[in-house]
Structure 1
Amino acid sequence: MPLSLYAFILCLMYLSSSKAETCQNEGEEFHRFFVVNGQPLHLPCPIYHGSMTENNFSVSWYKYGSKNPIGFDRMSRIHQHENYLKFIPAVLEDSEWYLCVLGNSTQCYQKGSKVEVFNYDEGVCYSKPTLYPAEGFTDQSISLQCPHMEAYFDDTSTKIEWFKDCIPLNLSSDQYYAIKNALTITKGTKENEGKYTCEAPYYFNGTRYKLSRTSDLVLRAPLKQSSPAIINPTNNIMHVDLGSFVSVTCTVLFKKESVAFDFIYWTLEDGDLIENYVGYNEWIIVGDLYTNSTNDNEHWLTVDLNFTAIREEDYNRTFFCSTTSGSRAFIMFKHPDPNFQGFLIVFFVSLVIVIVITLILFKIFKVDIVLFYRSNCVAKVILNDGKIYDAYVMYPKNTNRNSSYTMDIFALKVLPEVLERQCFYRLFIFGRDDIPGQATVDVIDNAISQSRRLVIILGNTSSEYRLENDFEQQIAMYDALIRNKTKVILLELERIADYSNMPESIKYIKQKQGVVRWKGEFTEANLSTSSKFWKNLRYRLPPEQPQSVEDSNYITTDDL
């Protein structure tokens, strides 16, 4: 053999073994292949179809666990011929799984088939595991086929012998006659029940072998005709996803009075068999017919319709489960209804997150939001509540009359500069806005009742300054907390660590609503309305009014 040809053969063997390992696995063939020890067996490739030859598919067979393909040598007892794996003959040691690999340059598939080899049972010409079930009815003619012989010989020229319970049948009698590979019993009786064996010669490489098949015939009394009941499907619609695997079972119940023997099958809406559907053997497969007798009064027939992957052309088509007696029921596939559950979950979770974040941001920027809203979203109108002043300002008086006293500077100059001049608030400050000669109590009482807020400026209590006018404080607290319920704003000009010496009313207000605390010096930056202190104070004051204040003394940073 030339070296180049030898290398080419080795390359093909390597590719075949590699293909068996990397091909798409189609699982295992459901049916087992039974054969009697010493008889030939032709094992067909379970995934091979005649049309595949047009696509240059090649077939290779492997024994499970082996990486070497089975050869084509006809002199070998086990060899491959076309898509068949042939055992001539099969022996007990051949009971094993065999793998068929089908592929071309772009595709590759593999599927396994099980071979089981048996000896004859003792004293008979058959083996029970290899029996084929057969049914018939008394007082009717019965036809028995010699099962699965098509791949072995030409039934028109091969002579087939028939046996009942291993005894040759007299085919010249009126009770039996045989045509090709079928045996007909003219009129069945209970005596006709038994094991019917068909035998045919098989020649290979000059050697004669024997092929035999045995059917176990059971006869029943004929049943009266009645319509079978289709249990499933129920003329229903299934909502299935595109590309999903779907299996629908046609289930029919036959009563005792049903026809002697009935078949069920799947058809299209026009009555054509499902085998004529464009997708048959590609993604649609009809399963085997199964029968099950629950008791003497009824039996069931079932056959599956399997869609390996639902395609668009399968939607809105009706597939009928039909019986030979004319009964039928359909199943139709529809696209699934939209599933909004995931969207709703995401929506509501997102909504909760947005609400939580909004609440957190509002809490952090509440003052800025309220001030922005007042300035841009609400038209400035004069409040018609009958009050003249936006705030009554009360602060500890300087007992030493020191003009540089910080409290006086803040109350009489800084506060009016920002609130009255820049923000247009109207303040009443006792000692600045009262008219000399008026009764102090009346002035204070009247001014507080005409004010929308009460601003109390606090500082560290010392011998140098204090809330001198106790009656002013008492009137203010009485008016704010009891009579008119005026809102109070506590303003710390200096940080007060201990409120134990403060009046109970001050401590009560601080506990309920806190204080606004001044920090830093009286600089130009600190006099800006955008600083944190003035924002907090403006937030507690009423909305700014659209009028300016006249006849007030204002300061600039040069005066401080």
Structure 2
Amino acid sequence: MVLNPWLFILCNTAAIFSFSGTSPSSENHQSDSCYDWGVYDAKSLQIYDGELGKLTCPLFSEARYNYSTSLASGLSLLWYWIRQGQDLEEPIDFRLPDNRILKERDVVWFQPSAVNDSGLYICMLRNSTFCQRVAVPLSVLQKDPSSCVSSKMKHNKMMIPLETKGDLHCPDIEGYYPPSLQPSIRWYKDCQPLKDKSFEKEVIGDRIVIYIMRKDYAGNYTCIVNYTLHNRSHVLTRTTTVRVVGMPSKRKPVIHHPNKDQEVVKVSLGDTAELLCHVYFPFLMNSPTEAWWTVDGKKLEPFTTERYQLSSSFESTELDDRTIKILLKIMHFTEEDLKHNYVCFAKNNEGEVSSQAFLKLRVTYTMELACGLGITLFIVVSLVIVYHVYWLELVLLYRANFGTDEANTDGKEYDVYISYARNAEEEEFVLLTLRAVLENEFGYKVCIFDRDSLPGGTITDETLNFIKKSRRIIVLLSPNYLLQGTQELLELKAGISNMALTGSIRVVLVQYKAVKNTSAVKELKRACSALTVIKWRGEKASDLNCKFWKQIHVALPVKRDLRPKASCEKLLS
């Protein structure tokens, strides 16, 4: 029996390809039984808009079979693509009149490429019996504004040791033009033109020779190739990111902790002991950097035991010198743990080094610690008590020295507007007691409607205007306040509304007499649930230094230039 040679190819390609798909299965079969190897990201291609690009079918380059043998076996190579952002698979038309996209053997040429060419390109090798396909991503990028490259482009990378010679070639331009053609190549460093020759580096055609590598030579080196072939002008842009690393070293790693002076690590029984292995690795090209802990000669691995926990961190310098830190935590340290040997090891290509950690029990000063904690607790409790008892005095002291006078910033005319029930008793209290203290002792400018309003005006408009010009509104609560007419309710609603919506005024609730049913007025109920009510206590509040007047003073604006008199003057006869 004669086997088709492609049966061998198709059956063995699974071991050769490394696509994003894992292996062909019933889920990967198309309706026509075509093996789909998914997306081959390793061959993904990026091209600059308007430049020449070529896309090679991985079925040949990776499986190592040539195009001619495939055709001779009766197989055909078909190309399809899925536009970026779409799901529809379309055949590629290579017969367009502009010949911009061409097929040459197993290569698709874009001469030049366009942004709309971005998408997923599928090459399919098939005959009537066998079918195999793979997809390759293509991205056509535009260069950044005022730049010779795009920040989205994946650049080649190269490391050159400090003070050594480096040879940098324009990458990935082979096969784009015949060897007999001499293209024009311009070199740029970080998109700035390079001189053809300087003391330490020289541009020679498609390469740059750096005779002595310096730190400031690191950066992005871009070569732009221009040439004409078959009456078409082509451009290729390639970039290599050069990183400067340390000078070639022949040194072993250096262990900083535990150090050579046999630094003693103090531990406490029952606590967690922490041992640090801190190793510095000088740069060594293509050298491993490995560090580890051993206990009694046995290398510790993560999760060796529940009592040993390992954590590591890695740092790299500008010149690629490296530092590795491995922290060993010994949980619930015991006296038995003191008998073990803890050694930090490190190695590179130049050799292996080690340093032992020495442990010692920490002496704890129980009595001194207890006394310190007791004194600290006593101070904290004392401060809490002082603040609880004298918090009003502390607030007033702070306001007197550091508070900001609101009159300097808000442009309002009055410090406080007093809203009260219009009856003889409460009017006497407001005019003879409350107003007298606020104006004469505290220096506030008080607004009382019945005293300061002009005759002939509209009550509603003047009331709202006075409240708008005031920084605080004192609402004197009493049973009579709830029984009064619309003006008191208007004052209350206006104050609460301004405080809630704009914050331009604050409402201060003063209970002149006990009010049993505050829920009768919705606004008053909301205010009582959200604000502190300051209670007038009659004779007990006759002293300016009593709690009532301190609470009033704290609730009202800061007046740094005028302060209450520290007298014991009686306010009530």
TM-score, normalization: structure 2? 0.36
Structure whose CA Rg is larger: 1
TM-score, normalization: structure 1? 0.37
